[in-house]
């Protein structure tokens, strides 16, 4: 089975809002979610030969490949509904510029968005790995 897993900082309000956005706007309910630092994340990364997780970076695993930073965001967009697809045009921006923007947001995310937590419904809860 091809897995699509979004690994995110569970203590970050922006990251939690992003997870809620994905839950509302994904084209098919297939993405699973896992907070960085969890036992599942550590074991999964080890099994797949991925480097230890950096809490300031989002990871998206799909089709046997790990994506990080702006590449992870762009790959995630591919799983969203049609009206979000124009965001994928960000791929034409050079990676070094996209990643610089990503780092700036990552550096300031906890100042901009306070802790945000939503209790997922029972169907959504099944898609959270820990």
Q: Does residue 106 sit within a domain?
A: yes
Alpha helices, DSSP H, located in 11-121? 13-25, 39-47, 69-77, 95-112
Q: What is the domain extent for residue 62? A: 4-125
| pLDDT per residue as tens digits for the range 40-54 | 999 999 999 888 778
| pLDDT tens, position by position, 98-128 | 999 999 999 999 888 877 666 778 888 899 9
130: in domain: no
Does some domain include residue 25? yes
Domains held by the chain: number: 1
Q: What's the chain's Rg over C-alpha atoms?
A: 14
Q: Which residue has the higher pLDDT, 68 or 117?
A: 68
- Confidence band for 10, pLDDT divided at 50, 70 and 90: confident
Burial grade of 99 (CB within 10 A; 0-12, 13-18, 19 or more): middle
């Amino acid at each position: 089975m091809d897995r699509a897993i979004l690994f995110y900082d569970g203590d970050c309000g922006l990251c939690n809002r992003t997870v809620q956005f994905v839950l509302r706007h994904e084209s098919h309910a297939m993405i699973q979610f896992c907070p960085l630092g969890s036992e599942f994340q550590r074991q999964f990364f080890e099994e797949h030969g991925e480097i230890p997780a950096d809490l300031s970076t989002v990871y998206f695993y799909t089709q046997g490949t790990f994506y990080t930073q702006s590449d992870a965001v762009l790959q995630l967009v591919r799983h969203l509904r049609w009206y979000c697809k124009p965001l994928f045009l960000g791929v034409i921006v050079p990676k070094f510029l996209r990643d610089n923007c990503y780092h700036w947001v990552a550096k300031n995310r906890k100042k901009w968005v306070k802790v945000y937590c939503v209790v997922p419904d029972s169907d959504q809860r099944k898609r959270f790995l820990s």
